[in-house]
């Protein structure tokens, strides 16, 4: 298989991965969400300003698959918030580098929020900075950093991006 063909196959695999990842979240199958990550992993949601300045402050920080699972338990137990749907879409997936077993990927995302009896609005917009590895024949996130454009930290960031 030549290099171009190999690149296109990888791209097709990544398209599938992101479609399944977002499908999982958009369908609210949160229990399946940690399975997209390796055992040791990093998941962060961080404002662009902080990310670009190298400031450590993150809105969400999970440092292992166990943390992600804890998050899901918290989501399911939380009943204080008004019911809402979040729908995430992705665009502009680009492979930045392939180094050893790791694929570095960026992709722009947009999340829309719909509260009961309200119109849908733009919720959160940003870019995924991802590091992906192959584990048991499946692509998994070793690192996913969601860098969002707003300086405002949404006070209702209940669900993953």
Residues that bind a copy of itself (CB under 8 A): 4, 7-9, 11-12, 15-16, 18-20, 22-23, 26, 48, 85, 87-94, 106, 108, 110, 112, 114, 116-127, 149-152
Smallest distance, a copy of itself to C-beta of residue 39, A:
25
Measured distance CA(123)–CA(112) in Å, rounded:
5
Residues 91-114: b if buried by 16+ CB within 10 A, e if exposed:
eebeeeeeeeeebebebebebebe
User: Ramachandran region of residue 105, left (φ > 0), alpha (ψ -120 to 50) or beta?
Assistant: beta
Smallest distance, a copy of itself to C-beta of residue 122, A:
5
Measured distance CA(54)–CA(71) in Å, rounded:
25
CB nearer to a copy of itself: give 72 or 87: 87
CB nearer to a copy of itself: give 12 or 40: 12
CB nearer to a copy of itself: give 80 or 82: 82
């Amino acid at each position: 298989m030549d290099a171009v063909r190999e690149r296109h196959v990888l791209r097709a695999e990544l398209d599938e991965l992101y479609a399944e990842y977002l499908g999982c979240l958009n369908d609210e199958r949160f229990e399946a969400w940690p399975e997209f990550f390796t055992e040791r992993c990093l998941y962060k949601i961080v404002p662009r300003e902080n990310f670009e300045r190298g400031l450590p402050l993150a809105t969400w920080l999970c440092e292992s698959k166990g943390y992600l699972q804890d998050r899901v338990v918290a989501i399911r137990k939380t009943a204080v918030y008004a019911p809402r749907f979040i729908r995430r879409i992705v665009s502009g997936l680009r492979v930045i580098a392939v180094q050893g077993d790791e694929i570095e990927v960026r992709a722009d995302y947009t999340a829309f929020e719909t509260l009961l009896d309200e119109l849908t609005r733009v919720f959160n917009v940003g870019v995924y900075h991802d590091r992906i590895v192959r584990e048991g024949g499946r692509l998994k996130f070793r690192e996913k950093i969601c860098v969002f454009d707003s300086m405002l930290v949404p006070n209702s960031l209940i669900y993953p991006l």
